[in-house]
Copies of this chain bind each other. A is one copy, B any other.
């Protein structure tokens, strides 16, 4: 609608078609040049030229032949997993985990740093990340010239921009310029995003969201968030803080949420909210550990427990219904440890609750599935940020 610096020169063309081919090979498995002409719409000549360049640069490699019946056999091409490496970092409540992946997303090395409760200073986290980068590079024997970048999943809201800034209540981070802190210790390209979003991204690339152009990954853990994909691209909004589904209001004037507002979805379906509601209903929370406690609650057959679970399903269904009505996705993936715990037992009820709260038409055009990846996917998802930029 408005003007701006859009695409122009003839060189961008090649860059674009290169990316198209690369993506086709990355997501479409090994393929012959012949098949690529079909799937990309490019001419055979161009495919030949571009793949020639990519082969010469070592970005892709030949991967055997396909038997023929009476003609020259097709040579399969695939992305060279060792052409580049990406590091994914999971900054969580209890640890900083640094993992190194090759382009095929095979883990090559890992480093773990425990965080003591209430010791989440940004400088400490940054030191851990930098140390972790050195460790995994050394462990895998990968030179930094082969590194495509480092993706980092952090809690809280990430304000994207030239100098990304992180706001993380639980860490006591206010406007922390994590990138600037790391920049003093490394020259690698850095990609920072919300950890829930990176987890959702992993689910979209390698999990239950594979192949969807319009999808929503709903992440329910202690907190609640969502990764919204429109036209195969994560929606970030004007400043990158889009998708704060957990703090949408589903009960005006309802329960107080830790964000300060009333009636947030998170206050009802986040693990903390569920356990809190159970306690208020007179139930006894089984453990100090949220995960153990929630699992126990789900096993509990007492009327109080069952009512709380039922209510949780209703609220979560309403939240999912809202996503369906607003985004009209073709697929919804429910993930996060609490979401998986609840969904494994009550997926049918959850679908039914979503159906009740969504319009019939968009509901009929979507499917609600459980995530296939565990909570460990944060680092993997963070690494996909790097690969995503590489494929562009």
Contacts and interface: CB of A to CB of B under 8 A. Distances in A.
Interface of A: 1-3, 5-8, 10, 12-13, 16-17, 20, 23-24, 27-28, 39-42, 46, 157, 159, 167, 204-205, 211, 213-214, 226, 228-230, 232-233, 235-245, 247-253, 259, 261-263, 268, 314-315, 318-319, 321-322, 325-330, 356-359, 361-362, 365-366
Nearest to A204: B1
- A157, A214, A240, A242: most-surrounded residue (chain B CB, <10 A): A242
Contact of A167 (B314, B361, B366): B361
Contacts of A230: 230, 235, 237
Contacts of A263: 318
Given A159-B361, A243-B328, A259-B359, 12 more contacts: A1-B211, A2-B23, A2-B232, A10-B10, A235-B327, A237-B328, A237-B362, A245-B325, A245-B326, A248-B326, A250-B250, A261-B356
Given A2-B232, A251-B252, A361 B241 contact: yes
Contact of A359 (B244, B251, B321, B358): B244
Given A157-B361, A251-B252, A252-B251, A232 B322 contact: no
B20 A241 contact: no
A239 B326 contact: no
Contacts of A13: 7-8, 10, 12-13
Contacts of A330: 238
Given A245-B325, A250-B249, A328-B242, A157 B359 contact: yes
25 contacts: A1-B23, A2-B211, A6-B20, A6-B40, A10-B13, A157-B359, A159-B361, A167-B361, A214-B237, A230-B237, A237-B327, A238-B330, A241-B359, A241-B362, A241-B365, A243-B326, A244-B325, A244-B359, A245-B326, A248-B322, A248-B325, A249-B321, A252-B318, A262-B356, A322-B322
